[in-house]
Amino acid sequence: MKRYPQDPAPPKASGYFRERITPPRMLMTKPAPAKASSASTEDLQRICSQVRRDIIRMTHGAASGHPGGSLGCTEYLVALYFKVMAHDPSAWDMDGRDQDLFFLSNGHISPVWYSVLARSGYFPVKELATFRKLDSRLQGHPTTHEGLPGVRMASGSLGQGLSVGIGAALAKRLNGDDRLVYTLHGDGELQEGQVWEAAMSAAAHRVDNLIATVDWNGRQIDGDVDDVMPLGDLPAKWKAFGWDVLVEDHGNDMDRVLAALAEAKSRTGKGRPVVILLRTEMGQGVDFMMGTHKWHGVAPNDEQAARALEQLEETLGDY
């Protein structure tokens, strides 16, 4: 259409969109907040035992997968999903507004995450039997393509979870949503450069509604982290990148994990992102899987699975 100088100017794009933008979330009625649970330490330890059984049975059933890091991160994930996070599995959606969010960046430890998701009500526990099977929603590394409730990003490729977590935390800030974002990373994963770009940006943008945790087990896929590519003074590094740093040396002690998460939470909202450097033991709970990197990504055979299960009490019923 031909335009003449006396015609009123067309609306600017910014004005056009401003008129149609949804009202800010903070002006809407908030749904009932998702509640954190009141589970006792003993309850949580019993859940850990069952989750460890699931990890052994899933990797054994698939004859592949990553039991080592999964066993080491069990206390952290059980604490998070069964006690600390405010979340409602029955109201799960991708946005997770008004809920605490979790992103697993070291996606190879999917067995522990899938078990915790199922056991906390995101999908049927019996679906754990499909781990790593064709057409299963429980792929070896989580993806969003399968539509598995609880999974909001793909994480087979290491190094991306912090970037995604920061984006989610900024979105929460924009939406007036005061819930927190939690992320988990492997220590070997920290060798990926994107992590440090993300760390820098979180400090620059004062992303203080995010709690990142590093599974500081000292092991990675084919050796000890110190032998493959040492991380140096890790607490000093995170501090230098502008983060509030917490070191917890007992990442497989439920009370200590709970205390670390509570302390981290108390440090949110103060202008800096928070990181917990959590010392864990790869293979924790199964004697012959501890003290080595060798169980990073090896499934137990029949005899090994039986020996492992003898060490882990069945507390909630096997799937």
Ligand X SMILES: Cc1ncc(C[n+]2csc(CCOP(=O)(O)OP(=O)(O)O)c2C)c(N)n1
Residues that bind ligand X (CB under 6 A): 68-69, 106, 108-109, 156-159, 186-189, 192, 215, 217, 219-221, 282, 296
The Cα–Cα gap between 291 and 96 comes to 38
Measured from the CB of residue 222, what is the shortest distance to ligand X in angstroms? 8
Residue 187 interacting with Mg ion (CB under 5 A): yes
Whole-number Cα distances in Å, 128 to 84, 182, 228, 244, 270: 24, 24, 33, 37, 40
Query: What are the two backbone dihedrals, phi and then psi, of residue 226, each rounded to the nearest 5 degrees?
Result: -65, -30
**Residue 290 contacts which entry, Mg ion, ligand X, none (Cβ below 5-8 A, type-dependent):** none
Considering beta carbons, is residue 108 or 137 the nearer one to ligand X?
108
Contacts of 249 (CB under 8 A, 6+ apart): 256, 279
Considering beta carbons, is residue 33 or 156 the nearer one to ligand X?
156
65, 111, 150, 186: which one contacts Mg ion (CB under 5 A)? 186
Considering beta carbons, is residue 107 or 273 the nearer one to ligand X?
107
Contacts of 60 (CB under 8 A, 6+ apart): 299, 300, 301, 302, 304, 305
**Residue 48 contacts which entry, ligand X, Mg ion, none (Cβ below 5-8 A, type-dependent):** none
Measured from the CB of residue 54, what is the shortest distance to Mg ion in angstroms? 21
What totals of helices (H) and strands (E) does the chain contain, helices first? 11, 7
Measured from the CB of residue 113, what is the shortest distance to Mg ion in angstroms? 15
Q: Which residue's Cβ lies closest to ligand X?
A: 186
Measured from the CB of residue 296, what is the shortest distance to ligand X in angstroms? 4
Question: Residue 206: beta bridge partners?
Answer: none
DSSP 74-130: HHHHHHIIIII----GGG--SS-TTS-EEEESSGGGHHHHHHHHHHTTSS-GGGGGG
Query: What are the two backbone dihedrals, phi and then psi, of residue 93, each rounded to the nearest 5 degrees?
Result: -150, 175
Query: Pattern of binders to Mg ion over 209-228, x per CB under 5 A?
Result: --------x-xx--------
103, exposed or middle or buried, with CB in 10 Å at 0-12, 13-18, 19+? Answer: buried
- Residue 198 tokens, joined: 């993300």
Alpha helices in 160-301 (DSSP H): 161-174, 193-204, 225-228, 234-240, 254-266
**Residue 192 contacts which entry, ligand X, Mg ion, none (Cβ below 5-8 A, type-dependent):** ligand X
**Residue 221 contacts which entry, ligand X, Mg ion, none (Cβ below 5-8 A, type-dependent):** ligand X
- How many positions of this chain bind Mg ion (CB under 5 A)? 6
Considering beta carbons, is residue 34 or 154 the nearer one to ligand X?
154
Considering beta carbons, is residue 152 or 296 the nearer one to ligand X?
296
CB 289 within 8 A of CB 307: no
Considering beta carbons, is residue 217 or 268 the nearer one to ligand X?
217
Considering beta carbons, is residue 123 or 182 the nearer one to ligand X?
182
**Residue 108 contacts which entry, ligand X, Mg ion, none (Cβ below 5-8 A, type-dependent):** ligand X
Measured from the CB of residue 190, what is the shortest distance to ligand X in angstroms? 7
Contacts of 10 (CB under 8 A, 6+ apart): none
Tell me which residues touch Mg ion (CB under 5 A): 186-188, 217, 219-220
